[in-house]
């Protein structure tokens, strides 16, 4: 029998949900981070289109923590957080705003739920929906997700990511239990 005439009759593979696609991209973007303490990724979307992407790290053109401070990471501020980095959400939102993208009503996918500072920015930019993979409170060892609580209090839809079933997302929480 000529194998060129054989048709594969197996069932068509299910198409991935956009939530799965965007969260998978956020997980991969986190791997771009030069931070040696934690790696976080974000994808800002409208409907089924990507508006902007981001990952945590210092402003472009300044330095890379893993190169300049390879042993200990960058200097810490008075709260123990990185004194030089922008969070993934901040990078995605700032890039979108810089390029004139319509942010109001959008959705942001992040690998770590927003801290309170990022939550205030998300709310101020009128982002309608936040989907997160890992809990900031669990990561930091604190009682509650203050950023999530803040956003929900003021009407922003916040959901913990659950796979749509068409994909298996492999991700570990951000690296250390220190700060991002």
Kindly list the catalytic residues: 89
Query: Strand 41-46 vs strand 49-55: parallel, antiparallel, or unpaired?
Result: antiparallel
With CA atoms as reference, report the closest residue to 33 among 98, 80, 82. Answer: 82
Cα separation, 130 vs 122, in Å, equals 9
5-40 burial: b if 16+ Cβ within 10 Å, else e: eeeeeeeeeeeeeebbbbbbbbbebbeebbbbbbbb
112-135 burial: b if 16+ Cβ within 10 Å, else e: bbbbeebbebbbebebebbbbbbb
| Cα–Cα distance list, 180 to 63, 102, 152 (Å) | 16, 28, 23
């Amino acid at each position: 029998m000529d194998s060129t005439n054989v048709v594969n009759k197996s069932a068509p593979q299910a198409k991935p949900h956009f939530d799965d696609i965007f969260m998978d991209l956020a997980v991969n973007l986190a791997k771009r981070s030069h931070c040696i303490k934690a790696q976080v990724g974000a994808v800002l979307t409208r409907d089924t289109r990507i508006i902007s992407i981001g990952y945590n790290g210092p402003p472009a053109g300044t330095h890379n923590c893993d190169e300049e401070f390879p042993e200990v990471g960058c200097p810490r501020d008075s709260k123990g957080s990185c004194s030089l980095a922008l969070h993934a959400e901040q990078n995605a939102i700032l890039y979108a705003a810089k390029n004139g993208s319509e942010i109001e009503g959008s959705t942001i996918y992040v690998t770590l739920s927003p801290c309170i500072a990022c939550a205030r920015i998300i709310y101020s930019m009128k982002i309608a929906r936040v989907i997160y993979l890992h809990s900031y409170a669990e990561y930091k060892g604190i009682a509650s997700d203050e950023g999530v609580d803040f956003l929900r209090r003021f009407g922003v839809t916040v959901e913990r990511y659950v796979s749509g079933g068409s994909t298996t997302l492999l991700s570990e929480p951000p690296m250390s239990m220190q700060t991002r």
